[in-house]
Structure 1
């Protein structure tokens, strides 16, 4: 049986829609899924560790990496830079692992230009009110930051139709089941099965 290549998933959502909780649950439930650890110039939040949530770097180091073409995608979000290492992603895909890129719609467009087979999943909140309550409930952002995120959320959500799958995160358990189903289904696509089970299919059809 041929070693299969992993799938690259793009996971996007406005802040507060619950994408982090969903992908963390998926990582615990599925040993074949990995999350890409991005580089960022923003300061670590309470409880975050360098190399786990992000690789925290200064602006000059980030700009040097851009000049070296080291990023699969990169973008400026609010006052901070975010980027994804090319080599890290391709190494995991070659191992047959499914990789999640947790990026915004702008980063998703960059990834699709380089990797058209990427599979997009967009997470929507059940309402604007719920989104605002979730952001305030974090207790990590100041009021002015929350206001900026809410103002930007409508623009972000307007790009939902650029993605193959959309999950409305109203009930967490239901949203999680839908996310799992997408990952499982993508592993049984006909071209992939034909590639890794060529001998079996030839035997069955002979």
Structure 2
């Protein structure tokens, strides 16, 4: 019996992944909620590094701006949210392996799970086909984000930090207001405050993303 459903193998190949060992790809698609001996976490660790190097090399060759601006673009392009966006475009949600409760909670659609699985799939492809083939795959999957200029605008938290300094205000303070939901579908509410100016809140599936959205909301309200 195959370690992975044939329909999933065919889907992976249609997305241009190099599938050799089905057990490896089963691991890349398996969430920790299944209580199996495997999960995608180790492959996610590997894929994160492969993605980072692939995008960094790409930007170095195609974008002649300064190091700080390249770093800003890199951080956005490899972010969990951007990885999740790519994963949604591929239909990853239909193939993630979770337990019944996590699926009923909608974890397969969450930013954290989709972003992690996307990185795990890149890690699996690296083990199967090597760096060059995986870099080419990243170029294919991230083409729209790079061509569309993702990350060219200043990150909202950096923009707020500079705004506060430019207006002689204290640095913005971020506070975790609430955390709700199970670990695989957690929701974080963050408030950002600039003393003697005001505050703004936002909610997201990760604390970092909630901070980013809160900073964006603050700038839209007060900036």
Report the structure number with the largest CA radius of gyration: 2
Higher relative contact order, structure no. (Cα contacts within 8 Å, ≥ 6 residues apart): 1
Higher fraction of strand: 1
TM-score scaled by structure 1? Answer: 0.24
Higher fraction of helix: 2
